Amino acid sequence: MTAVTDPLTLPCGVTVKNRLLKGAMSEALGTRDHAPRPELPALYARWARGGTGILLTGNVMVDARALGEPGNVVLEDERHLADFHRWAVQGSRDGAALWMQLNHPGKQAPRGLNAGGTVAPSALPFRADWPAPLPRRAS
């Protein structure tokens, strides 16, 4: 029997130091221009020092015109690479694996958050009771 503290080799060949994983959550620690705030690398450094094998980041949006909530971090070009590098270095301390969760909210984007409206694979509503506008179809 293997212990939760034993290393684990994944089918892709990556070996993680143990079987502990911090699940993804949305920290909402982005600046007004969507860079990672300094608190974000510090938070992940703390989790890494705690011994977690895999740290899944919160939502990192791929388009600043498509946010899922205020405070989202966005990686869509090279503007904030130094900030993302600091986050990667701090989040991978003590052998932790830092895995980024890339996200686009699509039709689940909240009403009024994205000035250009909501874009999704289809122009169908998410749910009748969901407080989001009808999206326009992405092209």
Residue 71 · residue 31 · CB < 8 Å: no
Alpha helices in the chain (DSSP H): 39-49, 81-91
Q: Could you tell me the residue ranges of all domains in the chain?
A: 15-106
Spatial distance between the Cα atoms of 52 and 90, rounded to a whole number of angstroms: 13
* DSSP letter, residue 30: B
Mean pLDDT, range 53-68, rounded to an integer:
96
Picking from 39, 29, 96, the residue whose alpha carbon sits closest to that of residue 61 is 29
**pLDDT value at residue 19:** 97
pLDDT tens digit sequence for 76-116: 999 999 999 999 999 999 999 999 999 999 888 888 888 88
Do β-strands 15-16 and 8-9 pair in parallel, antiparallel, or remain unpaired? antiparallel
Q: What is the model's pTM?
A: 0.88
| pLDDT given for residue 137 in this prediction | 87
Q: pLDDT digits over 6-58, tens only? A: 999 999 999 999 999 999 999 999 999 999 999 999 999 999 999 999 999 99
